[in-house]
Copies of this chain bind each other. A is one copy, B any other.
Amino acid sequence: MSEPAYAIGVDFGTESGRVVLLDLEQAQDVATSVLRYPSAVIDQKLPSTGERLPHDYALQDPDDWLRVLERGIPEVLKESRVDAAQVVGLGIDFTSCTVLPTTGDGTALCTLEQWRERKQAWPKLWKHHAAQPVADRLNEVALERGEDFLARYGGRISSEWYFPKLIEVWLEDREVYDAADRYIEATDWIVWWLTGAECRQTATAGFKAMWSPEEGLPPTDYFTSAYPGFDKPGEKLGENFVPLGSRAGTLRAEVAKKLKLSESTAVAVGNVDAWVSLPGVGVEDPGTYVIVIGTSICDMIVHPEETRLPGITGVVKDGILPGMYGYEAGQAAVGDMLAWFVEKLAQDPDSYGQLEKAAARLAPGETGLVALDWWNGNRTILADADLTGAIFGLTLQTTRAEIYRALLESIAFGSRRIMDNFEEHGLVLSEIVACGGIAERSPLMMQLLADTSGRPVHVPEVNEIPARGAALFGAVAAGVFDDIRSAIEATRPKKVRTYEPDLEAKKTYDRVYEIYRTLYEFLGRSDARLLHELKWIGTERRGS
Residues of chain A touching chain B, judged by Cβ–Cβ distance below 8 Å, are 333, 336-337, 340, 344-348, 363-370, 374-376, 388-396, 398-400, 403, 508, 511-512, 515, 518-519, 522-523, 527, 530-531, 533-535, 537-542, 544
Contact = CB atoms under 8 A, between A and B. Distances in A.
A363 to B, nearest CB: 5
Contact of A400 (B344, B400, B512): B344
User: How many copies of this protein are present in the complex?
Assistant: 2
Between A370, A374, A394, A539, the greatest number of chain B beta carbons within 10 A of the residue's beta carbon is seen for A394
Contact of A534 (B392, B399, B400): B392
Contacts of A399: 344
A393 B482 CA distance: 51
Contacts of A519: 530
Between A348, A388, A399, A403, the greatest number of chain B beta carbons within 10 A of the residue's beta carbon is seen for A388
A368 B515 contact: no
26 contacts: A333-B396, A344-B399, A345-B345, A346-B346, A347-B348, A363-B542, A366-B538, A366-B541, A366-B542, A368-B538, A369-B534, A369-B538, A375-B395, A376-B396, A388-B393, A388-B395, A389-B393, A390-B391, A391-B394, A392-B523, A392-B531, A508-B537, A508-B541, A511-B537, A512-B537, A522-B522
Contact of A398 (B340, B347, B400, B512): B340
Contacts of A337: 396
Contact of A540 (B333, B365, B369, B542): B365
Given A344-B398, A398-B344, A541 B364 contact: yes
A372 to B, nearest CB: 9
A388 B400 contact: no
Given A345-B403, A363-B542, A390-B392, 12 more contacts: A344-B398, A346-B346, A364-B541, A375-B398, A389-B393, A390-B394, A393-B531, A393-B534, A393-B538, A395-B535, A515-B534, A522-B522
Contacts of A540: 365
Given A389-B395, A522-B522, A512 B530 contact: no
A515 B537 CA distance: 11
Between A344, A395, A511, the greatest number of chain B beta carbons within 10 A of the residue's beta carbon is seen for A395
Contacts of A375: 394-396, 398
A502 B453 CA distance: 50
Contacts of A538: 365-369, 393
A544 B362 CA distance: 10
Contacts of A346: 345-347
A116 to B, nearest CB: 32
A388 to B, nearest CB: 5
Between A365, A508, A535, A539, the greatest number of chain B beta carbons within 10 A of the residue's beta carbon is seen for A365
B518 A368 contact: no
A368 B508 contact: no
Nearest to A390: B392
A543 to B, nearest CB: 9
Closest 9 CB pairs of A and B: A368-B538, A389-B394, A365-B541, A366-B541, A365-B537, A390-B392, A388-B393, A393-B534, A363-B541
A337 B370 CA distance: 19
B363 A544 contact: yes
Contacts of A542: 363, 366
Between A336, A364, A398, A535, the greatest number of chain B beta carbons within 10 A of the residue's beta carbon is seen for A398
B530 A518 contact: yes
B390 A390 contact: yes
A207 to B, nearest CB: 25
A368 B369 CA distance: 21
Contacts of A394: 374-375, 388-391
A519 B522 CA distance: 10
A340 B396 contact: yes
Nearest to A363: B541
Between A369, A398, A541, the greatest number of chain B beta carbons within 10 A of the residue's beta carbon is seen for A541
Contacts of A535: 368, 393, 395
Contacts of A539: 368
A46 B415 CA distance: 50
Contacts of A544: 363, 366
A530 B515 contact: yes
A21 B183 CA distance: 85
A136 to B, nearest CB: 20
Nearest to A509: B537
A194 B376 CA distance: 64
Contacts of A370: 534
Nearest to A345: B400
